[in-house]
Amino acid sequence: MKLLIRVFAFTIVFFIVQNAYSQDPNFHVYLSFGQSNMEGAAPLEPQDKLGVDPRFQVLEAVNCPDLGREMGKWYTAIPPLCRCKTGFTLTDNFGRTMVANLPKNIKVGVVNVAVGGCKIELFDPEKTESYTATAPDWMKGMIKEYNGSPYARLVEMAKIAQKTGVIKGILLHQGESNTGDTLWPKKVKIVYDNLLKDLNLDPRKVPLLSGETVHEEQNGKCASMNKIIAVLPKTIPTAYVISSKGCAVASDFLHFNTEGYKELGKRYADQMLSLLGYKATNSSEPFIVQAPLGFDVLNPNVPAGKVETITYDSKTVGTTRKVTIYTPPGFNKKKKYPVLYLLHGIGGDEKEWLNGGNPQIILDNLYSEGKIEPMIVVMPNGRAMKDDSASGDIMAADKVQAFANFEKDLLHDLIPFIEKKYPVLKDREHRAIAGLSMGGGQSLNFGLGNLNQFAWVGGFSSAPNTKIPHELIPNPEEAKKKLKLLWISCGDKDWLIENSKRTHDYLLKNNVPHIYYIEPGVHDFKVWKNGLYMFSQFLFKPVDQSVFSKYTVLETADLN
């Protein structure tokens, strides 16, 4: 009995502790480190402390009794954001810009640990002690405020931050003291890798943003360092360089002034917002236009759907054919689901999406965020012939013709099979079709050619098998009435873009509502995964056609 009481008591305490330190996915945390321009060298003015949104928070990294702040606690991010007497910094306007452009339910927190005049070596744990030993006394005083190790303090504060929020990025501004050091990118990588390891972070979800020193056009004394900073992404693929060109500078030509910090901070924020998938619009509500970092990365804490490959009898082909099925997390046979038929390209089969696109991971992550409706996803082999393998000459006439023949197999064999085996809704409003490349052409051909069967149609980088527009949509008025969503997307450097553009031009001319989504990219899964991420969020729910134009056209500049 005593043992049961102990277990019960432990369980209660455990859940209390868990609840007290539960991560809020809507509390985005950013670590910032570097030297004086990250510290903040611009004098603070009274107006700099006004109007700070409480959604922007700072985790105090040192004790500041005069400010009423205690190390390791969160406060509204009224400057100074580094130590007790530092100035206005780029981090100030980074956070202010972020909260102004993110949904109102998202908070932003920063942890700022910086030391004026230091080299990047100070943040390398293996070199901190030796570097500090030869540092000037004025620098030793700053290092002492971090108990002798700025890196250790940054990690300590980051772990505190992780109890309540999620680290989304790392901001760096450093390089003036390493000017001319061609090994600087590798030294930065050591620090970045250490942070990832010590904080258990995934680089695919946590990028590094590094800003240039004062630009040569502003007569920056260390402007030559920018050529070295520019190559950082070659050493760290998840690093992004923030331009300082045109940012106003202080009289020493080493630091930025307040206006310069505001512009530089905004540029850091613009890059991060882009990486999170947001695009600035004139509306008050932030607008997501692309998949954020980590959208296709497995999250072991997220409930997973089930993927299975089964067979069905095809009277059209005269054989048994394979099809891959995804059922959502929490699949319940007593509930009826809508269906998305997801088609592959000319060189693929029923496994191509799984092998190259991780649709199950993308959809699992979207479910966990409440962004999509539960649906069954059917990934068939779109090459309707007895030997439907992607082998030999995939461009052979009979194999190409088999993609056209799949329309009959889809409508008369596969759809009836799915509707018999799985608990699905059988009306057109709950049936969607989309695909990549050759499958994109099939989706447009079959979907728009059978509006009595499909209300949702998507073509990702559609191939030349796409019918010419007036054959594809001979009756624009019927399409207007029956389509819930028509999605056409492609990479701006894709040599097949003309197939998408000519369809878009025809739809535009005939006032058929659709989304024409052009993104930086070529003919690959980077584009197609993004297409699935975006398209799937519209499916099987009310659609506001007034937002369609916001996706047309997504310029390359919007992502840089």
31 strand-pairing partners: 111, 170
Catalytic residue among 137, 252, 393, 544: 252
Give buried/exposed letters for 194-206 (b at 16+ CB in 10 A, else e): bbbebbebebebb
3-class DSSP state of 122: helix
Q: Which CA distances in Å does 319 have to 314, 323, 396, 413, 419? A: 6, 13, 21, 11, 19
Identify whether 252 is a catalytic site residue: yes
Q: Are 171 and 38 in contact (CB under 8 A)?
A: yes
Q: Distance of CA 445 to CAs 25, 267, 505, 536, Å? A: 41, 43, 17, 19
Please tell me whether the peptide bond between 80 and the residue prior to it is cis, using omega within 30 degrees of 0.
Answer: yes
> Helices (DSSP H) in 434-496: which residue ranges?
438-449, 469-472, 476-482
CB 406 within 8 A of CB 442: yes
> What's the token pair of residue 418?
């799915």
Indicate the pairing of strand 166-173 with strand 27-34: parallel
Residue 341 structure tokens: 């038929």
Burial group, residue 380, by CB count within 10 angstroms (0-12, 13-18, 19+): buried
Give the 3-state secondary structure of residue 197: helix
> Using CA atoms, how far apart are residues 415 and 405, in angstroms rounded to an integer?
15
CA distance 147 to 83: 13
Query: Active site includes 412?
Result: no
Q: Please state the separation of Cα 120 from the chain's center in Å.
A: 28
Given CA atoms 141, 142, 143, 144 in this order, what sign does their dihedral have?
A: positive
Structure tokens at 190: 């050591």
Nearest Cα neighbor of 131 from 86, 194, 187 is 187
**Which of 255, 344, 430, 523 is labelled catalytic?**
255
Is 36 a catalytic site residue?
A: yes
| Pairwise CA distance, residues 549 & 538, whole Å | 15
Secondary structure (3-state) at 238: coil
- Cβ atoms within 10 A of the Cβ of 152, count? 16
Length of the chain as a residue count: 560
Pairing relation of β-strands 287-288 and 278-279?
Answer: antiparallel
Instruction: Tell me if residue 398 falls in helix, strand or coil.
Output: helix
CA atoms lying within 13 Å on the CB side of residue 179: 13
412 contacts: CB under 8 Å, gap ≥ 6: 315, 316
The single residue of 32, 36, 437, 500 carrying the catalytic annotation is: 36
State whether residue 330 is helix, strand or coil: coil
Distance of CA 453 to the CA centre of its chain: 33
Catalytic residues: 36, 252, 255
